[in-house]
Structure 1
Amino acid sequence: MTVETKHLGIFLFADVEELDAVGPWEVLSFWTSKWPEDGWKVFTFSQAGGEVRCAKGLTVRAEHSEADRPNLDVLVYPGGQGTRAHLADQPRLDWVRRRREDGTLMTSVCTGSLVFAAAGILRDCPATTHWAALNQLSELDPTIELRRDDRFVDCGDAITSAGVSAGIDMALHLVGKLAGTERARQVRRGIQYDPQPPV
């Protein structure tokens, strides 16, 4: 019997923070390429597809556009300066709400959670974001229980993470959630992620 492949999509947009997207990509692509039997694939997409210029000047190419992407089982919404425009972009917020309504597991890195908050999908949930944006997260939705010191917060159908490098922690947690703790440990060892800050 063939198991239907499930998909993790990383959303790219102008001025996305590089590591917010590439950190989870490293974790998830290592997992899905080394253990295809787990039944997951990861891809990147943007609204129009093609090249995307990131916050610090790196240019990346999205594999898909919104129109031709595979179905989403998990959405990874990175942060960066580019999210600020999304907070008042009603079509974008409606799109986020539709993903939640269609059963997509919603995950964010850094200020991606601000977009989730603006869309109203973190109501009455614990959540986090980059330390410098915690107050803004609370202002967008005062019902959110701020987790100021957590690297990531899993409230069931939404997972948020703190800033930039915390997206790696969130993605490893996601592997554990979808494929088990031992698989997540294998991925962590495979990418040699063992944080010991030098300063």
Structure 2
Amino acid sequence: MRDVAIFLFNEIEVLDFAGPFEVFGVAGLRSGGEPPFNVFTVAEKSPVIARNGLTITPTYGLDEHPQPDILLIPGGGGYHANGTPFGSRREMHNPVVLDWIRRYADPAELILSVCTGSLILARTGLLDKLAATTHFMAMDALREASPTTSVRPDDRYVDNGKVITSAGVSAGIDMSLYVVSRLLGPDAADETAWYMQYDYWRRS
């Protein structure tokens, strides 16, 4: 069983984390035996207030959780009218979060981002000299955050081996199904998509 840690923060985009949570949570559901993934959420503070006021109680605080095999950083956020950053635009400058990601990313098997979660990864240095994508409205921000990254605006997700990034919001579902396929085989991913009635995930 692989431990999947999904990072949460205030103003997070709901589908950014909920889509992957659902994919990893139901993968292998019909095969019986031990589930292939143990999915949990992690946040610096609790509760987390997501977009549109959804309140979430994370499973763990930082440094209270098992070492993740898969570390997933969602997105969501922007700037208020006065220029103050919120959501991922704030967390990408949060040294506590950046240090936490660096510490747990090194021993992890996979590091994933959804949407503007790539901006947070970029600030850790984990996207240096790699290819990546993000939300279509954040491509320039990704280039600015990581000048050595090859930004792929036309890709739904980009696989660098250990680091995989996805485009915005719903693209996190496709990326997560791709990861299930990569780790467990295409039949497992197809079964997961079938159970979710998600048509059709192999679009990249």
Q: TM-score, normalised by structure 1?
A: 0.89
Q: Which amino acid aligns with 2:123?
A: A
Please say if residues 12 and 62 of structure 1, whose CA atoms lie closer than 8 Å, have aligned partners that are also in contact. Answer: yes
Q: Please, which runs of 5 or more residues in structure 1 have no aligned partner?
A: none
Please say if residues 17 and 164 of structure 1, whose CA atoms lie closer than 8 Å, have aligned partners that are also in contact. Answer: yes
CA RMSD of aligned residues (A): 1.7
Q: Please, which runs of 5 or more residues in structure 2 have no aligned partner?
A: 78-86
Give the aligned partner of residue 36 of structure 2: 39
C-alpha separation in 1, matches of 2:63 and 2:35: 27
Q: Which amino acid aligns with 2:138?
A: A
Please say if residues 87 and 115 of structure 1, whose CA atoms lie closer than 8 Å, have aligned partners that are also in contact. Answer: yes
Q: Does 1:153 align with 2:158?
A: yes
Report the number of matched residues.
191
Q: How does 1:38-187 map to 2 (within 5 A)?
A: 39-48=36-45, 50-81=46-77, 82-187=87-192
C-alpha separation in 1, matches of 2:146 and 2:70: 23
For residues 106-142 of structure 1, the C-alpha deviation after alignment (integer angstroms, 9 at most, x for no partner) is 1000000001111110111110000000011011111
For residues 45-88 of structure 1, the C-alpha deviation after alignment (integer angstroms, 9 at most, x for no partner) is 2124x421102211122122223222200011100111111222
Deviation at 1:177, TM superposition (A): 1.5
Please say if residues 71 and 108 of structure 2, whose CA atoms lie closer than 8 Å, have aligned partners that are also in contact. Answer: no
**Partner of 1:9: helix, strand, or coil?**
strand
Please say if residues 110 and 163 of structure 2, whose CA atoms lie closer than 8 Å, have aligned partners that are also in contact. Answer: yes
Give the aligned partner of residue 6 of structure 2: 10
Please say if residues 67 and 104 of structure 2, whose CA atoms lie closer than 8 Å, have aligned partners that are also in contact. Answer: no
Aligned equivalent of 2:199, options 190, 194, 198: 194
Q: Using the aligned pairs only, state the percent identity.
A: 41
Q: TM-score, normalised by structure 2?
A: 0.87
